[in-house]
Amino acid sequence: MLQPLTPHIVFDCLALLLAIVAGIISVRWKLKSPMTRTAAGIGAGYFIALSLGSMTGSFALGTANLYLSGVSNIGRSIAGALFGATLTVELYKLQRGTRGSTGYMYVIPFCVLVIVGRLGCFFSGLADHTYGTPTTLPWGVDFGDGMQRHPVQLYESLSMLMLLMFVIFMLRVRQQFIVDYGYYLCVGFYGGQRFLWEFLKPYAALLGSLNLFHIICLLLMIYSIAMSLGVRNGYRTT
């Protein structure tokens, strides 16, 4: 039996399509040369690690967060996918001895994926469990329960749109900066803005006032800072 066509499915498919197109354009525009060098140093295992890490992180952490919040359902998480993919790829590269950032090629596609994908979360309403806490601000949105809530999905879309514009600008004026620091910047920025929006979500606290995704985002930010400092100091380029 075919699954009903929901806003989430439509925007997920659109997000994936646009992310692929954006990735191809960015490679042809500014990243073809560094990507050729990167491709020579990674094997098929890289993409297996990337796929397994992102899928496992997405479903495991998304479902765990719902469970902790008292919701018995299968969940998916962008933060979980980013965390899982980063972890498994770093472990793979460490085992293989691969040096040099490889994530820069995914920065623009990831931004597009989040920008468009979060629109699907927004239009899915309460069923998606990504809505915000009640607010009296004039831009609050009623997702179907009669309460004006923070449209945190749109907050995230707009945040990542700003990052996308910055990355495009930097690719134009200083390509090597994105090659060296782009992925770490993306991970840190995503973790930082998501950490803030988590305070506006009704998820169960796990540590003090912090929920599961707060902790994941803190780990992403720590990773970003550590890796950026490593590149800057010349002792860590994986």
Confidence of residue 2 (pLDDT cuts 50, 70, 90): low
Rounded Cα distance, 210 and 206, in Å: 6
Asked if residue 233 has pLDDT above 70, the reply is no
Rounded Cα distance, 59 and 5, in Å: 21
Residue 100 located in a structural domain: yes
Asked if residue 235 has pLDDT above 80, the reply is no
**Any bridge partners for residue 142, and if so which?**
148
Closest by CA to 102, choosing from 168, 184, 21, is 184
Residue 38 located in a structural domain: no
What's the chain's Rg over C-alpha atoms?
Answer: 18
User: Total structural domains in the chain?
Assistant: 1
User: How large is the average pLDDT for residues 74-98?
Assistant: 94
Asked if residue 236 has pLDDT above 50, the reply is no
Asked if residue 32 has pLDDT above 60, the reply is yes
User: How large is the average pLDDT for residues 191-197?
Assistant: 98
pLDDT in tens, 204-217: 999 999 999 999 99
Residue 63 confidence (pLDDT) = 96
Residue 33 located in a structural domain: no
Residue 65 confidence (pLDDT) = 94
Phi, psi of 141 (to 5 degrees): -125, 135
Rounded Cα distance, 149 and 131, in Å: 7
Residue 165 confidence (pLDDT) = 98
User: How large is the average pLDDT for residues 110-116?
Assistant: 98
Residue located via tokens 């912090």 = 210
Domain that holds residue 184: 7-26+43-233
User: How large is the average pLDDT for residues 94-109?
Assistant: 90
As a whole number, the mean pLDDT across the chain is 93
The model carries a pTM of: 0.93
Residue 3 confidence (pLDDT) = 64
Residue 100 confidence (pLDDT) = 77
Closest by CA to 42, choosing from 81, 90, 82, 87, is 90
Rounded Cα distance, 200 and 214, in Å: 11
Secondary structure (3-state) at 6 = coil
Residue 98 confidence (pLDDT) = 82
Residue 74 located in a structural domain: yes
Asked if residue 237 has pLDDT above 70, the reply is no
* Alpha-carbon distance values, 13 to 50, 97, 160, 187, 220 (Å): 20, 35, 18, 23, 26
Asked if residue 218 has pLDDT above 90, the reply is yes
Asked if 103 and 182 touch (Cβ cutoff 8 Å), the reply is yes
Confidence of residue 238 (pLDDT cuts 50, 70, 90): very low
Residue 35 confidence (pLDDT) = 87
Q: At what angle do helices 44-68 and 78-96 cross, to 10 degrees?
A: 140
